[in-house]
Chain A
Amino acid sequence: MQPLDSAAAAPTGAGEPLIGVEDLRVRYGERWALDGVSFAVDAGEVVGLLGPNGAGKTTTLSVLATLRAPTSGTATVAGCAVDRQPAATRRAVGLVPQGVALYPTLTARENLRFFARVLGLRRNAADAAIAAALELAGLVDRSEDIVATFSGGMQRRLNLACALLHTPKALLLDEPTVGVDPQSRERIFAAVHAQAAGGAAVLYSTHYMEEAERLCDRVVLIDHGRTVAAGTPAALVRQGAASLRLAVVTRRALAVGWLDGVAGARVLDGDERADALASRGDVAHVAIHDLTVAARVLERAAASGGEVMEFHLHQPSLQDVFIELTGRALRD
C-alpha cells in the first residue's frame, strides 16, 4: 500500500481546518524528527496520530502547541500560524501532555484554579470551568485531595480536565491513557467525544491502535517523522495488504509445504506474537482470504500429523497496516 497523499489526510468537512499541518519538518541536530508531515483536523473531528515511540507524534503536538518551532513547513491552529502567532495559537490550544503535568502537592481544585487563573479566567467563569472540569474528570468528590494521592487514572483525568478549562478550539492529546485503568480510559474517551461534539478539533496521539480505531474519525499513521498513511481506520485496513491470519498451534511441527494446494491460504514468515504462542507448541501463521479457508487450513494441519491443539484467528487492524507499511509494530 502506498502512502496516501495529503488528500486522505484532509478533513472531510468544508471550510478551513482548525488544525492544519503542511509538510512540517523539525530537525534536532542531524536528525529529522519530522520529515514532511501533513494532515488537517476539522472542527468536531477526532483525528488520531498513530505511530510507534519516536515516530514524531509528540514533536508534532509540541509544534502545534508552540513548544517547538518548525524547521520548515507550516502549522496552523484556528487560522493562526504557530510560529508567527504563538500567543494567539496558545489561546486556541488545549494541550494534554504525554506525562501528567500537575502539581502533585496541590489539590485537584488548586491545580485547576491555578491553570484557570493563568488562562485569565475571571472568578465566576473560573469557578464554573473548574466545576465542569471536576465533573468531567469524575473528581468532584476528590477535589480537595492532594493530587499525589490520586491513582494514575485519576491523575490522567485531571490532566485532561486542566486542558479543557478554557474550552479550547483545538485539543491536543499526547497519549492520554498511558497506564490508565479502564474506567478512567472510558471517562477520557467520553471527554474527548464531548469536546469534539462541542466543535473542537481533537488531535489524539496514541500508539494504541485500539484507541484509534475506537475513538478517531480518521487516523494519520506516522513513522520516522513521515506520514505513512492517513484515512479512516476502516479504509486503511481495507486498503492495506494485511489479511485475516490464522495461527495454528500444533503439538508437532508441521512439515514444509504442508499447506501446499490449499487455495486462499499461505504460510507467513514469523510474527510478533510468535513468542506468546510458542510456549504452547509449534506455531504456524497462515494468511487466509476468508473464514472458509480457515477450516481447510485446520484440516490440512491435522492431516499433516501436527495434532492441532489450538488456533487463533486475527482480524487485520491498523497495527497490521502499520507493520505492512513500516515493517515494525506500533509498539516497537
Chain B
Amino acid sequence: MGMTSLLAILAKDLRLLWRDTAGLIFLTLAPIMVITGAGFSLANLYGADPTGQTAYEFPFVDEDGGALGRQLRERLEHESAVNLRVLASRSEAEQRVRDKQAGTALVIPRGTEAALHGGGTAELLLYTDPVKYLERLNVRIRLLELRDQLATEARETAAGAARGELARAQADAQRAEQSIAQARREADAAYVQAREAQAAAIAQVRAALDRTRAQVEEQVRRAADAATAQAAQAVQEQVRDLRAALSAYIETVQTRRADFERWLSELQRLAGSHAGDIPPPPVFPEMPAALAQLAGDGAFPIRVPTPAPFHLALPPVQLDLPPIPAPPAIEVPALTLPALPAVRGGLSIAETNLTGGPLHINTFDQNVPGFSVTFLLLGMLLGVSLGLLDERDWGTLDRLRALPIAAANVLVGKLLARFLVGVLQMSVLLAVGWLAFGVSLGPQPWALLLPTIGIVFAGCAFGLVVAAVAPTREAVLPVGSIVIVTMAAVGGCWWPIDLEPRWMRTVALAFPTTWAMDAFNDLMIRRRTVEAALRPTAVMLAYGLLYLTVGVAAFRRRLRQQAT
C-alpha cells in the first residue's frame, strides 16, 4: 500500500501540473522565450549567434581594387558576425556611421596593395562610433584576426618562395660543387690515366719502335738485299737489255753504216760526177772499245759494286715526350649562399583549443543550459514549495495526513513528481537548444542526464527547505526569487562565471547551479565525456541530500508548529 499511495500521489501531482496551463507555459515556453531573447540579445558578447541575426551591418569601401581588398571582402562576406555592405565611396561609409546605421565602417585606401607589394606599410581606415562599444570591439577583433591571417599567409607565401629560391640556389650550388668536384676527380683521374697511358704508351711506343726498328731493319735489310739483288738483276737485265739494245743499235748502226755506205756509194754512183761535190760524209766514228765491250757479251765492263751488307742502324728512339702537365689544382671555394635577410614579421598568436569543442562558441551554448537551469530552479523551488502550500491551503494536506499512508509518502510523492517533471523539462529544453539553436549535446548526450539529475534533485530538495522556511505564498515568492536569482546569477547561469571576481567564484561553489553549469559546459562546450560530469553530479547530489535533510526536519517542525 505504501507504493500504491506513493504512486497515487505522484500521479496526482503530475495531473495537477498537467492541468496548470500557466505552470506548463512557465516550464516550457517561458524558458524558451527567455533563452531566445537572451540569446539574441547577448549574442554579440560571444561574437555572433549561429543564425547571423545579430550580425552587425558593416559598410565596406574598396578604393584600392587590389588583391587585399578582394581577399578582405571575400572573407568578410563569410563572417557571421557582420553583414557586409559594399559602398562606393568613403563618404557614404562615414555617413552610415554618423547616422548610427553602423558602429564601424572599413575603407581600403587607394594604393594599399601597391604599398604592400613594394614592401612598404599600408593602413586601412576603420571608422567607428565608440558608443557602440561592443560592436566596435567585435569588429576590431574580427578585422585583427583577418589581418593576422592575411599577413601570416603572405608571410608564409613569401617565406615559402624565398625558401624555395634559396633551396634551388643551394641545390644548384650543391650541384655545381658536386660537378666541380666530380670534374676535379675526373681530371685527376684523367691525369693519372694520362700519365699511366703515357707511360704505357711510351712503353708501347718503345716496344713498338723497337719492334718496328727491328722489323724495319730487317725489312730494310731485306729490302736492301732484295733491292740490291733486284737492282743487280735489274742492272743486269738492263744491262742485258741495254746491251741488247745497244747491240741492236750498234748492229743497226753498223747496218745503217753499211747501208750508209751503200747509199753513199750509190749516191756517189748516182752523183756520178758530182760525186766529188758530195761533201765527204761524216765519218762514222768507230765504236769505242768500251762500247764495243759494253755491247759485247763479255763481262759487263761496268762493274756494279756489290753493295756492302746493308746494316740499318737506326738510332735508338729516344722518346722524350714532354710530361703530361699535371692538371691545375681546382680549388673550388665553398659556396656559401648568403642567408635570407631576417625580415621581422608580424607577431601572431597561435591559439590552441585544448578542449574538444569549437574555438568560437555561440551565445546559446551559454544561454540554453544557463536559462534552462534557471527555469528549472524556478519550477522546482516554487513548484515544490508552492505545491506544498497548495496542499495546505486546499486542506488536502490534513486530509492526506489523516489517511492511512506514511507521512513521508506525501512528501516523497510530491518531490518525486517534481523531480520527474524537472528531468523532463531539462531534457526538453536541451533538445530545443540542440534543434533550434544548434547547441551541441556533446559526444555523449546521455551523459547530460547526470548533471540534470543532480540539479533537479538539489532543486527539489531546496524547494522543500523554502516551503518550510516560507510559511505563506507571499513569503515563498520573494524568498524563492532571491534564492533563484542569486544561485543563477552567481552560479554562472546568466553569464560566464569567469566574468566574476575570484572571491565570488569561490562563494559560488556553495551553489548547486555552479556545479551544474560546470558540468554542462564541460559536456556541451568542451565536448568532454561523462567522466567530467561525475564530480559535479556527486556534489549536487550531496547538496540535495543536505537540503533534503534540512527540509524534512524543517518541514516537520513547521507541521508541528502549525499543529500547535
Partner-B contacts on A (CB < 8 A): 28-29, 62, 65-69, 87, 90-91, 93, 95, 97-106, 110, 114-115, 117-120, 146, 162-163
Contact of A101 among B19, B394, B405, B563 (CB under 8 A): B394
B residues less than 8 Å from A119 (CB atoms): 403-404
Q: Determine if B340 is an interface residue (Cβ-Cβ < 8 Å).
A: no
Which among A87, A95, A104, A105 has the greatest number of chain B C-beta atoms within 10 A?
A: A105
B16 close to chain A: CB less than 8 A? yes
Contact B19 A118 (CB under 8 A): no
Give every chain A residue within 8 A of B402 (Cβ-Cβ). 65-67, 90, 93, 95
Residues of chain B in range 1-46 having any CB-CB distance to chain A below 8 Å: 1, 4-5, 7-9, 11-12, 15-16, 19-20
Once the chains bind, are A67 and B19 in contact (CB under 8 Å)?
no
Distance between A124 CB and nearest chain B CB, rounded to angstroms: 15
B398 on the A face (CB < 8 A) = yes
Task: Give Cα distance in the complex from A103 to B402, angstroms.
Answer: 16
- The answer to whether B399 has its CB under 8 Å from any CB of chain A is yes
For A101, the chain B residues whose CB sits under 8 A away are 394-396, 398-399
Tell me the chain B residues, 455-495 only, with Cβ under 8 Å from chain A. none
Give min CB distance, B250 to chain A, whole Å. 181
Residues of B within 8 A of A146 (CB): 19
**26 CB < 8 A contacts A-B:** A28-B564, A65-B398, A68-B563, A95-B402, A99-B394, A99-B395, A100-B395, A101-B398, A102-B396, A103-B12, A103-B394, A104-B394, A105-B19, A105-B20, A106-B15, A106-B16, A106-B19, A110-B12, A114-B8, A114-B12, A117-B4, A118-B8, A118-B400, A120-B4, A120-B404, A162-B399
Nearest-Cβ distance from residue B164 to partner chain A, whole angstroms: 80
Residue of B nearest to A33 (CB): B564
Contacts of B7 in A (CB 8 A): 117
Would you call B100 an interface residue if the criterion is a C-beta within 8 Å of the partner chain's C-beta atoms? no
CB distance from B392 to the nearest CB of A (A): 10
CB distance from B404 to the nearest CB of A (A): 4
Assuming the contacts A28-B564, A110-B15, A120-B5, asked whether A115 and B403 have C-beta atoms less than 8 A apart, the reply is yes
- Assess whether B396 is in contact with A103, with CB atoms less than 8 Å apart: yes
- In the complex, A95 Cα to B395 Cα: how many Å? 11
Is B401 an interface position by the 8 A CB rule? yes
> Residues 143-159 of chain B: 1 if any A CB is under 8 Å from the residue's CB, otherwise 0?
00000000000000000
Task: Name which residue of chain A comes closest to B397, CB basis.
Answer: A101
Chain A residues with Cβ below 8 Å from B9 are: 118
Report which residue of B4, B5, B20, B564 has the largest number of chain A beta carbons within 10 angstroms of its beta carbon.
B564
11 new A-B contacts, CB < 8 A, other than A99-B394, A118-B8, are: A69-B563, A98-B395, A101-B394, A101-B395, A101-B399, A103-B16, A110-B15, A114-B12, A118-B5, A120-B1, A162-B399
* B401 engages A102 (CB within 8 Å): no
Interface size class of B (residues with CB under 8 A): 20 to 34
Contacts of A68 in B (CB 8 A): 563-564
A168 to chain B, nearest CB (A): 10
Which B residues have a C-beta under 8 Å from some C-beta of A? 1, 4-5, 7-9, 11-12, 15-16, 19-20, 394-396, 398-405, 563-564
**Are the C-beta atoms of A106 and B563 separated by less than 8 Å?**
no
CA distance A237 to B355 in the complex (A): 89
A-B contact count (CB 8 A): 80
**Smallest CB-CB A-B distances: 7 pairs:** A101-B395, A117-B8, A101-B399, A99-B395, A105-B19, A90-B404, A65-B402
Q: Do most interface residues of chain B lie in helix, strand or loop, or is the interface mixed?
A: helix
- Given the complex, which residues of A lie within 8 Å of B12, measured CB to CB? 103, 106, 110, 114
Residues of B within 8 A of A163 (CB): 399
Q: A104: which B residues are within 8 A, CB to CB?
A: 394
Q: With CB as the reference atom, state the residue of chain A lying closest to B17.
A: A105
Min CB gap A113→B, angstroms = 9
* CA–CA, A329 and B398, complex, Å: 29
Distance, CA A103 to CA B5, complexed state (A): 16
Residues of B close to A114: CB separation below 8 A: 8, 11-12
Query: How many Å lie between the Cα of A103 and that of B20 in the bound state?
Result: 12
Specify the chain B residue showing the minimal Cβ separation from A122.
B4
B5 touches A97 (CB 8 A): no
| Chain B neighbourhood of A91, CB < 8 A | 404
In the complex, A65 Cα to B563 Cα: how many Å?
Answer: 12
Docked pose: A56 CA to B98 CA in angstroms: 79
Cα A146 to Cα B403 in complex, Å, equals 23
Task: Tell me the complex Cα distance, A102–B563, Å.
Answer: 20
A-side contacts of B396, CB under 8 Å: 101-103
B399 touches A95 (CB 8 A): yes
Q: How far is the CB of B386 from chain A (nearest CB, A)?
A: 13
Closest to B396 in A: A101
Cα A103 to Cα B15 with chains together (Å)? 10
Question: Chain A residues with Cβ under 8 A from B1's Cβ?
Answer: 120
Chain A residue at minimum C-beta to C-beta distance from B393: A99
- Taking CB atoms, residues of chain A closer than 8 Å to B15 are 106, 110
Looking across the interface, which residue of chain A has its beta carbon closest to that of B401? A67
Expressed in whole angstroms, the minimum distance between the Cβ of A43 and any Cβ of chain B is 20
Complex alpha-carbon distance, A97 and B402, angstroms: 10
Q: What are the residues of chain A within 8 A of B404 when measuring CB–CB? A: 87, 90-91, 119-120
Residues of A with C-beta under 8 A to B564: 28-29, 68
A152 to chain B, nearest CB (A): 14
A143 CB to closest chain B CB (Å) equals 15
Which chain A residue has the least Cβ–Cβ distance from B406?
Answer: A87
Nearest CB on A from B512, distance (A): 30
* CA–CA, A41 and B518, complex, Å: 63
> Which A residues are CB-close (under 8 A) to B19?
105-106, 146
For B403, what are the chain A residues with a Cβ–Cβ distance below 8 Å? 90, 115, 118-119
Q: Name the CB-closest residue of B to A26.
A: B564
A136–B562 Cα distance when bound, in Å, is 33
Chain B residues whose CB sits within 8 angstroms of the CB of A28 once the complex forms = 564
State A146–B4 Cα separation when bound (angstroms): 24
List, in ascending order, chain A residues with CB within 8 A of B401's CB: 66-67
> Given A98, A118, A162, which contacts B405 in the complex, CB threshold below 8 Å?
A118
Distance from B23 Cβ to chain A, minimum over Cβ atoms (Å):
10
Distance in angstroms between the alpha carbons of A66 and B407 in the assembled complex: 12
Q: Max chain B CB contacts within 10 Å: which of A28, A65, A103?
A: A103
